[in-house]
Amino acid sequence: MKKIRIGVWLYDNYSMEETGGGYNYYSKLINKINEHKFKDAEIIFLSNKNHPENRKFHGVHEIQWKAYKHNKITKLINVLAGILHIKSRQKVILNRIKKNEQLLKNELNTVADVIYYILPGCIFPNFPYIYTLWDIGHLSSYAFPELCMNRNFEERNSHHDIYPHKALMIFAESNEGKNDIAKYLRINDDRIKVVPIFPSDVVNDIITPAQPKEIDKELFFIHYSAQYWAHKNHFNLLVAFKQILVAYPDIKLVLTGSDKGNKDYVKEIILELGLVKQVIDLGFVSTEELKWLYLKSQGLVMPSFLGPTNMPLLEAAELGCPVSCSNMSGNIEQLGEYGYYFDPKDPADISNKVCTMIRDKQNNIKKKYQGKFNIEFTLKAIDEAFTELRNIRFCWGVKDEIY
């Protein structure tokens, strides 16, 4: 049987500093897909821009026709037509958009059977696609500003009400993630495939650790690698750290990550708790500096409220760094017995579990990490999904007018 043609979407202007773990996931996976030989799938990379980075991928097709946000544009045109009384012009514009989308579909049909969006989102929903869904935190977590305020909830909800439901397949990053999708979005779980998240390239031997210049080599510290979002829960960690200092007066807390609007507030809490000299904020750090932190830290502490999974937990475990984190089911699925789990709403519990982690490290008590959250299992899961998808997608041809 012929192979299914998978058009893997290439993204432009996707930076590590802005997206953190998302960038690490995308950059590592896209390169591994480029190198991997799939059993029943032929890979074609799709790009809507002539970008120098595209040259390193084999089989890149640069798309000529532009995909419009059809629903939003149609609504805007209808509103303007009503205000300006230009109904005849409105019809011409909408017909042009429809024609352009048909041209795009025809072009895609010449090179691909299905589009695989590695990152959450969908560029062209009127063509068969695989949708990646990392979390539905606006439904499964608390109403943090970045999830639910300032129209974030409405935009997230409208997005998830359409694109996952129209996907031929959905890739979730864990069994817990699959369960969340089936529960909150009411989607047939046969369409949801577990494609495990994996640690970034920071765990690779080719990455040489580099000591951040702001840190003394002999520093005794724990660290938290997270962008400054409200859901990252710096507040309860800082309250807990005040208690940790009672047991370990010389310990420091090292924070890394870009500001997403909550950093000034975190600074206020640090000042209010009298922790200015005990907390070191490094901001955005390089991969080499991050690796040094994992190797030298007494442990990674991750009190995030949002899951189902978190990449830094895997990075720490692979590098032998102890981990104390929120007791969410996804975190436990990732780490098993390796982690020290706490209630992220309870500073006393955070403090107790972190102190236990530090004490075990000082006493040379090491836990062994055994997990399937790595790039080899990810590629295996994708390969199996492509084989199954072939037998679904080939139920209709490219010339059919029914879609």
Q: What is the pLDDT along the chain (403 residues), one digit of tens a residue?
A: 799 999 999 987 655 445 566 788 998 999 999 999 999 999 999 987 766 667 778 788 888 766 555 455 455 545 555 555 555 555 655 666 677 778 888 889 999 999 999 999 898 898 999 999 999 988 889 999 998 998 888 888 888 889 999 999 999 999 999 999 999 999 999 999 999 999 999 999 999 999 999 998 889 999 999 999 999 999 999 999 999 999 999 999 999 999 999 999 999 999 999 999 999 999 999 999 999 999 999 999 999 999 999 999 999 999 999 999 999 999 999 999 999 999 999 999 999 999 999 999 999 988 889 888 999 999 999 999 999 999 999 999 876 554 5
Paired sense of beta strands 169-172 and 279-283, if any: unpaired
The sheet with strand 300-302 has its strands ordered as: 279-283, 252-256, 221-225, 300-302, 323-326, 339-342
User: What residues does each domain of the chain span?
Assistant: 4-198+376-393, 201-362
Handedness of CA 72, 73, 76, 78 (dihedral sign): negative
Distances (CA, A) of 369 to 79, 145, 207, 315: 57, 35, 21, 11
Cα gap 12→9, rounded to integer Å:
10
Question: What's the confidence (pLDDT) of residue 56?
Answer: 78
CA distance 130 to 118: 8
Structure tokens at 305: 């409220």
Q: Which burial class, exposed, middle or buried, applies to 157 when counting CB atoms under 10 A from its CB (0-12, 13-18, 19+)?
A: middle
Three-state SS letters, 338-369: HEEEECCCCHHHHHHHHHHHHHHHHCCCCCCC
pLDDT of residue 1: 78
Q: Which pLDDT value is given to residue 155?
A: 87
Q: Which residue has the tokens 């059809």?
A: 70
pLDDT at 77: 44
Identical fold, 4-198+376-393 and 201-362:
yes
Chain-centroid distance, C-alpha 37: 25
Rg of the chain over all Cα atoms, to the nearest angstrom? 24
DSSP 232: G
Measured distance CA(30)–CA(206) in Å, rounded: 19
Strand-pair category, 323-326 with 300-302: parallel
Residue with tokens 């969006």: 117
Answer yes or no: are the C-beta atoms of 215 and 256 closer than 8 Å: no
CATH topology of domain 4-198+376-393: Rossmann fold (3.40.50)
Indicate the CATH number for domain 201-362: 3.40.50.2000
Q: Rounded to the nearest 5°, which phi and psi values hold at 338?
A: -70, -30
**What is the Cα 112 distance to its own chain's centre?**
25
Which CA distances in Å does 154 have to 101, 122, 137, 243, 302?
26, 17, 13, 39, 28
323 touches 297 (CB < 8 A):
no
Q: Is the peptide bond before 249 cis (omega within 30 degrees of 0)?
A: no
Q: Which of 120, 56, 19 is nearest to 45 (CA)?
A: 56
Closest CA to 25 of 360, 378, 319, 278: 378
Q: Say what the pLDDT of residue 61 is.
A: 87
